[in-house]
A and B are shown apart, each in its own frame.
Chain A
Amino acid sequence: MEKPFAIAQCSTAPRFLLALFLFSTLAHAQNTAPKSGQNQPAAAAPSAPVDYDGWGKPIPPAIKNQKPDPAPRRDITGTWDPGNGPDDGGQFLGAKALPVDGKPGHEPPFTPLGLEAYLRTKPSNGARMVPPGETNDPELLCDPQGFPREDLFQLRTTQIVQDREKTYMFYEFDRVWRVIWTDGRELPKDPEPRWYGYSVGKWVDDYTLVVDTNGTDDRTWVDHAGRPHTGDLRVRETFHRVDRDHLEWTVQIDDPKMYTQPWLAMDKFPMRLLPPDMDVREMICSRAEFDEYDKLIGNPASDPAADKVSH
């Protein structure tokens, strides 16, 4: 019997699907085994799992108790990994600072309209989780995550490059890029909505870049928990470079139609600098892979063999 697709093939497909459906621990276990390319070192000792980059090179672990060099001035360029491990940015229960885990105080301050919109979203994880076949999460159709969800779900290795006029963000998930204009322009007044909106950034001191985004598409969810937003959403990101090797990433949601006051979705989320020759793995949503997954694993009723048994 053929093995289930998501397990049988050691490609990006199973990593992607496992990461979505089997939660982060198992996904990380997959990621810790060497998979790609050449230069595969000997297997790491079980007690010391090693993660690998997209080219198959081991990612050096964070060095503890070493004082890093000072942060460079007005520079967040680099290849950044979640500081507490590659899965720390998974955020399967919703925004890191406010997960839907059933704990009191973890709900954002909904307006009545916001609560109504929230109750219409059917996430596939968290305390409001529905079976996979009943979710209306647009991301599971492989629609674009959009912004700010790109920060708030599957935030993994992120490359940042600056030039004179703009800062480029290169996300691992869906291999998508966005641009933050730092040339002094203002946000557009009445923009046509885009999946990733319009972003401008300003340095508020030599180590802190504040980025405002508007014009986002209200078909997207704020996070994996299905927090809603309207076209009035304004997102504020704060990137604070603590020292050469560490960056803190904060995300604030402000949408007066959906929330009575702004709320923090990520609060000083730690990122650590990787060596510049690290190759980022590929993790792209594929509808065809989802269909295959549903056929073989996610929707047993679609299995022709199951029909034969039932008849």
Chain B
Amino acid sequence: MPEDGKPEHRPPYTPAGQEALSQNKPSNTVRSVLPTETNDPVVTCDPQGMPREDLYEMRATQIVQTPLKIMIMYTFGRIWRVVWTDGRELPKDPEPRWYGYSVGKWVDDYTLAVETTGLDERTWIDRAGRPHSDELRVVERYHRVDRDHLDLSVTIDDPKMYTKPWVALDNLRFDLQPRDFDVREMICSPSEFAEYNKLVGDPASEKGKK
């Protein structure tokens, strides 16, 4: 659901959600501000957290299953997370974490449903600055279509910010890569950002003054 100004692409905000959205200043989308005016936490290399790891710079993703858990490795940030599949329930009143707490259940032989709670509300849901509260519950649905294809859907459910759940990712298709495929490195570096802003991103800096 891109923030491109189309009414059908607007999540169903509550008044609190609308207010929280207005506080977030993304550097892309129709609400884009100048690079130096954004308050996107990822621009300072803070962790993306969940579900933004699924919803921004989603690239080659490695998934490994063990008897009790599934490890997911993202390209962006070289971050891993765990989905527990040992039958445990989500924690009742968890301490917030950037990547929350995830449990997964097979709903049929080819579909894994993953629920995540306990998320740090300092993160944004996506690059557009959609907000969330500590009541956010994310549902991911991994559906293996055939040997070579996997579809991922992501649903956002946060009654403080949205009047009803909404689909953020709808069957994003992944192609299985060969087993010897090495994932490239893509990690946010504050010192690289600072260098970029000095040379390119901030026209009012040294170069601009000349």
Contacts and interface: CB of A to CB of B under 8 A. Distances in A.
Contact of B187 (A170, A185, A195): A195
Contacts of A161: 64, 66, 71
A56 B91 contact: yes
Interface in B31-78: 41, 44-47, 62, 64, 66-68, 71, 73, 78
Given A168-B71, A170-B71, A284-B47, A143 B189 contact: yes
B79 A144 contact: no
B47 A286 contact: yes
Given A142-B190, A177-B73, A279-B84, A37 B118 contact: yes
Given A56-B91, A141-B190, A287-B46, A282 B71 contact: no
Given A37-B94, A38-B92, A163-B64, A179 B185 contact: no
Contacts of B41: 288
Interface residues of A, number: 45
Interface in B145-201: 179-180, 182-183, 185, 187, 189-191
Nearest to A178: B78
Contacts of A77: 66
B96 interface: yes
**What secondary structure prevails in chain B residues at the interface with A?**
loop
B19 interface: no
Contacts, number: 110
Interface string B98-137: 1101000000000000000010101000000000000000
B180 A183 contact: yes
A26 interface: no
B10 to A, nearest CB: 28
B9 interface: no
22 contacts: A37-B93, A37-B101, A37-B118, A38-B91, A38-B93, A55-B101, A56-B91, A144-B189, A163-B64, A164-B179, A168-B64, A175-B80, A175-B98, A177-B78, A177-B80, A179-B183, A194-B185, A276-B68, A279-B101, A286-B47, A288-B41, A288-B44
Given A175-B99, A177-B78, A279-B84, 18 more contacts: A10-B95, A36-B95, A37-B92, A37-B118, A38-B91, A38-B94, A141-B190, A142-B45, A168-B73, A170-B71, A176-B79, A176-B80, A179-B182, A181-B182, A195-B78, A196-B78, A282-B97, A288-B46
The 10 closest A-B pairs by CB, nearest first: A37-B91, A37-B94, A38-B91, A194-B185, A177-B80, A282-B97, A36-B95, A287-B44, A141-B190, A38-B92
